[in-house]
A and B are shown apart, each in its own frame.
Chain A
Amino acid sequence: MQLRNRAAYGFLAPYLMIFAAFWIWPIISSFLMSFQNTRVNPWVFSFGANWGRLFNDPAFYNALKNTMIILIIQVPVMITLATVMAVLLNSPLLRARGLFRFAFFAPIVVGEVAYAAVFRLMFNLDFGVINKLLNSVGIASISWFADAPAAMALLIIAVTWRWAGYNAILILAGLQSIPGDVYEAATLDRVGKARQFIYITLPLLKPIILFCVILSIIGSMQLFTEPFLITNRGGPGGGTETLGLFLYRQGFTSLNFGYASAIAYTMAALAILISLLNLWVGRDEK
C-alpha cells in the first residue's frame, strides 16, 4: 500500500470529529470532573471530595456487590444456556429450525422498556401470571419486588431472557465454522458424541465463548434500564441498585457530577480489569 495521507484523512475526518467531540473530550472531561467538588456552586477542585468518599461509601459497595452478584450468577448461567441453545440449534436432526431460532433470537430485538413493562406485569405479586402459575403447583407467591433476593433473581431472569439468544448466535456462528472432518475422524475412532463435544467442540469454541463472556460482563456491568424500570430504581431499598443505577442517582438525582464521574472511572477500571483477567485465563497455553 502506498502512503496516502490526504485521502485517508478525508475519509476519516467526519468520524474522527464526532469521535473527538463526543468521546475523547468527554473521557478527559469526566476524569477532570472526578477531582472536583460539584456539590457546591461554582465547582471547586478537590482531590478527595469524590475519590475519598467513594471507598468509604456503603452505597457504592452495595452497588458493587449487586453488580458482582449479577456478574457471577447471571453471566455463567446465560453463557451455559446460550451454548446449549447453539448446540441444539446446530443439530442436523432439528425440525422447524426457523421457529426455534425465532423463539430464542426474538428477545434480542425487544426494547428494554417494552420487556421491562411485560416483566413487571408477569411478576406482579397478586395478579402476575408467574405467581399464579406457582400457586397452581402449590408454591406460595413470591414477593418479586419487595424482597431483595427475589428482586435480584427477577433481574437475572429478565436479563438472561433478553441476552441468551444474542450469545447463542455468536456461539452458533462459531460452531458452524468448525470443519466437519474434525468430527468424521473422531467418529471413525469410535469417540462418543458427548466426548466429542467435550474434547473437540468446547476447546474449539473457547475463544468465542470467552468473547461472549467479556461482552456479557461489560454489558452486565452497565446494567441500568432493567433495575431502573423493572425493580423500581434498584428497589427494594437498594437491593438491586447496580453501579450504573448508582451512577445515575448520584449524577442525575443528587446532581453530583464529580462523584458520578469517579464512579464511572471505577466502572471502567473494573471492566478493563475483568477483560484482561479473562484474556489471561483464555490465553493459549503453549
Chain B
Amino acid sequence: MSFKFLGATALVAALGMGSATALAQPTEITIWSWDIAASSLKASLEGFNKQFPDIKVNVQDLGNHQVFDKTLAACAAGGDGLPDVVTIENYKAEIFWNRFPDCFANLKDLGYTSEIQAKFPDFKRTELEAGDVPYAMPWDSGPVAVFYRRDYYEKAGVDPKSITTWDDFIAAGKKIAAANPSVVMAQADFNGDSEWFRMISNEQGCGFFSADGQTIAINQPACIATLEKIKQMKDAGTLTAANWDEKVQANTAGTVASQLYGGWYEGTIRTNSPKLAGKWGVYLMPSLAPNGAHAANVGGSSLAISNGSQNKKAAWTYLNYVLGTDEGQITMLKSFGLVPSLLSAEKQPFVSEPQSYWGGQAIWADILGTLPKVVASRGTAFQGDADGIYKATQTKYFAGGYPNAKAALDDAANQIASATGLPIAQ
C-alpha cells in the first residue's frame, strides 16, 4: 500500500503534474517565525488553502531571538527538533550554511529552478546560497524610510521634504521637541541592537564586513562617519534609547515623532497603533551629505526547509506560493507591510495605491522606489560575533571610553578580527 502510494507520488512528480495534487491525504507543515512575520504567514493561509486544501500550515511565533537560537541548537544536534520550515533573517543566515551544510534542504532538488531564482534580485540571494546550492528563498526586503507623525512635524513647522541630511534631522528634532512637549524626535535601541548603525552605514556603503564577506570593514571612513553622526544625534537629544517594545509603546502613546526602520515597520505601526490612522507619514532617510545616498536595507528574511522534514514537497509548495507568487507576497504586504523581494510583485497595482492609514500617501511607491539603489551588504557567518562586539564598542564610545569614533571602530575591528580570524580591510 505504502509502496504503491510512493510510486504514484514519484510518477506524478515525474510527469510534472505539480506536487500538491499528488498529496492524497492532508499534510501538516510547521513553520517557526516571529512577530509580524508570523502574522503575515498566517494571513497568507486563506489564499493558500483555496488552492491547496490538503496542506495544513501551522505557524508558530517563537520570537526572533529564539527562532535563531533554537534553529542553531537543532542544527548542532544534527537537525533533530526542527520544524519543516524555518524563518531566517538574511544577515544571520550564512552561519547555517557555513557550519551545517546538511541541516537544510537544497531547494533546487525541490523545484527551485533558475527561472524562479531569477524572479528575485541578486542582492537578496547572495546570503541565501552557498556555491550553487540555494538553501533559502528570499522573502521580504527592508528598504529603510523614516516613519513620522505628520501632526507633530506640522505643529513645529517642519516640512519633511526639507530634511535631506542627518544635520537637518537634528535641527528638525529640536524644533519638534520644542513645539511638542514630552515628545522625542526618534528612538534607537542602544542597549540591545545596532539598527541605526547598520542602516546609516549601509546607506553610506559601509558595513561590518566587505561585500565579499572576506574582510572586516567596520573601521572604514564611511562607518566612522556614521558612528560619529549617531553620537551627535544622541548627544543632541535627537535619539533616545528605547528597545523594540518601548518603541511600540511610544508610538501608541504618541511620545515619539519619528522612527527609522525597514519598510516592514509599516505593519508594526499600523497594527499596533490603529487609532492613529491618518497621523503617520513616510519620507526617505536623510543622508550624511546633501548629495548623498538615501537608500539602505535593514532586515529582510527568508524561508528555508529543514532537511529532516518529512514533508519537503508540501513545504516547498507553500514556499513557492507564499514567496514566489504575487498573490502571496501582496497579501503579506497589504496585511502587515512586508516588502516583497519578488520583483514582479513590485509592479502590482496595490503598490502605487494611496494608503488611508498613512494619510493618503502612496507610501509603497516611495519606499520601494529606493530598492534599486540599495548597496548589498553581507552578514557572513560571523554576524553574531561582529554585532555583539559593535554593541559593546558603541556603549563604551558613548560613555567616553574612546577619544573618537575612529579609535572605537579600530578597536572593534581588531576584536572582530580575533573573534573571526578574518583580516581587516585596508
Q: Are A253 and B190 in contact (CB under 8 A)?
A: no
Pair B191/A236 contact, Cβ less than 8 Å = yes
With A146-B241, A236-B395, A238-B395: A53-B191 Cβ-Cβ less than 8 Å: no
A268 vs chain B, min Cβ distance (A): 22
Contact A236 B192 (CB under 8 A): yes
B69 A237 Cβ-Cβ under 8 A: no
The CA-CA distance from A126 to B190 in the complex, in Å, is: 18
CA distance A235 to B244 in the complex (A): 14
Question: With a CB–CB cut-off of 8 A, which chain B residues contact A253?
Answer: 68-69, 72, 384
Decide: A237 and B95 in contact? CB cutoff 8 A.
Answer: no
Chain B residues, CB < 8 A from A233? 65, 192
Question: Is the Cβ of A238 less than 8 Å from the Cβ of B384?
Answer: no
B96 closest partner in A (C-beta): A255
Interface hits, A226-247 → B, CB 8 Å: 232-233, 235-239
- How many residues belonging to A are interface residues under a CB distance threshold of 8 Å? 28
Partner of B392, one of A56, A238, A256: A238
A41→B99 contact, CB < 8 A: yes
Picked from A53, A232, A249, the residue with its CB within 8 Å of the CB of B418 is A53
The verdict on A62 contacting chain B, using a C-beta distance below 8 Å, is yes
Q: In the complex where A53-B418, A146-B191, A235-B191 touch, is A59 in contact with B99 (Cβ < 8 A)?
A: no
**Cβ–Cβ contact B420 & A39, under 8 A:** yes
Quick check: is A57 within 8 A (CB to CB) of the other chain? yes
Verify A237–B392 contact, CB threshold 8 A: yes
- Contact call B72/A255, Cβ cutoff below 8 A: yes
Nearest-Cβ distance from residue A210 to partner chain B, whole angstroms: 36
Known: A53-B419, A235-B192, A237-B191. A255 touches B395 (CB 8 A): no
Chain A 136-194 interface residues, beta-carbon cutoff 8 Å to B: 145-146, 148
A249 and B388 in contact (CB under 8 A), knowing A56-B418, A237-B395, A255-B95? yes
Indicate whether A10 reaches chain B with its CB closer than 8 angstroms. Answer: no
Binding site for A on B (CB under 8 A): 65, 68-69, 72-73, 76, 95, 98-99, 101, 190-192, 241, 243, 246, 249, 382, 384-385, 388-389, 391-392, 394-395, 411, 415, 418-421
Pull 30 A–B residue pairs with CB atoms less than 8 Å apart, ordered by A.
A37-B421, A41-B98, A41-B101, A49-B421, A53-B418, A58-B411, A58-B415, A59-B415, A125-B246, A145-B191, A145-B243, A232-B243, A233-B65, A233-B192, A235-B192, A236-B192, A236-B395, A237-B190, A237-B392, A237-B394, A237-B395, A238-B388, A239-B395, A252-B69, A252-B72, A252-B73, A254-B382, A254-B388, A254-B419, A255-B76
Contacts from A to B (Cβ < 8 Å): 37, 39, 41, 49, 53, 56-59, 62, 125-126, 145-146, 148, 232-233, 235-239, 249, 252-256
> Apart from A249-B388, A255-B72, A256-B385, what 8 extra A-B contacts exist at CB < 8 Å?
A59-B388, A146-B243, A235-B191, A236-B191, A237-B394, A238-B391, A254-B382, A254-B385
